[in-house]
Structures are given as C-alpha cells and as structure tokens.
Amino acid sequence: MNSRSLATPEDTHAAGAALGERLQAGAVIALTGTLGAGKTHFCQGIVRGLQSADTVTSPTFGLVHEYREGRLPVYHFDFYRLDQAEDLLEIGWDDYLDARGVVIAEWADRFPELLPPGTEWWRLEHEEESGGRLLIRLPS
C-alpha cells in the first residue's frame, strides 16, 4: 500500500493531476474516504491532468457529471446518495464503463461489486495532526 501526505488542497490537485496524466481510455478510478476528505479535489486534479479546463464539481445531486474536454472524456459518479446498486445500473453505469473514457466513482466502496477488474482504488483521509490529507493507494 502506497501513501502520501497532502498538506494543502493544491497538493491534492497536483496528486490527482499526476494520476490523470497517465490514465488511458477505459480506466476506472474508485475513490473512498469520509465527507470532506478531498475526493472531489482529487478528481479536479485528475480532470486537469487529462488536459481539461472543465469546472469539476461534486455530482452528489446529479449522480454523474460528464467532462468531455481534454484528452479523454471523464464520467464522474458519486454513489453517496444511491440506496442500491440497481439505481446505478438504471442511470447507465455499464454504458459509461463501455464508453472508453475515464470513469471516476466517489464513495465507490458503497457498491464495489459493480467495479470492474483493474479498477484503481484510492482512499483520502484527514490527517488530524497536520490538518492535511493522506492519500492511500489501495490494492485492486
């Protein structure tokens, strides 16, 4: 397990951008962590790393946001408000996975069974002592 300390939101963006720069079509990124841990900030960095200037916001109420500018399209999901896996399937989850863009799922641990093999799992946690964040690469 790899981990990295992130002192500021800018550090979180930079870590996400570094990930985004290496992603290829079909990549699936699963993000976990508590409320306010930085999942959306990390996603903003990923989208920037994919050379997009789109404004990235949390898809909590829309469930999915699409960012089509940049090197690859990004489909940004938030599973937080979903009650069951069937809700995700009804909004076209499988179609997004087949779209050959990058799929990012916040709160992915709510429905891990729907994530394909090869998904990259990342966890963001608050660091109480420093006030920053800890970014952890989880085993797939």
What pLDDT does 1 receive?
Answer: 52
DSSP state of 27: -
Mean pLDDT in residue range 53-61: 81
CA gap 138, 140 in Å, rounded: 6
Better-scored residue on pLDDT, 118 or 140 = 118
pTM: 0.92
The values of phi and psi at residue 66, to 5°, are: -110, 135
Environment class of 22 (CB within 10 Å of its CB; exposed 0-12, middle 13-18, buried 19+)? exposed
Domain extent, residue 109, equals 2-138
pLDDT in tens, 65-99: 999 999 999 999 999 888 899 999 998 999 999 99
CATH code for the domain in which residue 73 is found? 3.40.50.300
